[in-house]
Structure 1
């Protein structure tokens, strides 16, 4: 929208493999991490287009087992991650 482009989202998948299959079937296009499509590109099922775009950001989360007790090294690592994201 910032560049005057309106995206018409008609499908939503929560699985990269499903997205790749939909694109291979001609159902649309997608932006995916380059390393996740290497096999399909080598097989000739998909074609990658290099984007000349501002840095793309993907939201990520730290996940862990519920009520997990972390040792000091893990606590320090989590602290570093939290500090680097602020």
Structure 2
């Protein structure tokens, strides 16, 4: 049986802002959305999470802004 090893991931981390719409707006049109949410994202972050869930020991390196949202992501 193979064991998971150590892995360093260098990549992006970002916040995905998701809003449900009834229809896609045409140019200049204003539409109302619902169910707004902010989700953890970024190719590097997603790869690090997947590898960690597979049992690898992960170190993740990324650049972030100095915002409250970035602090939440870094601490989780």
TM-score by length of 2: 0.25
Relative contact order, higher structure (CA 8 A, sep 6+): 2
Identify the structure with the greater strand proportion. Answer: 2
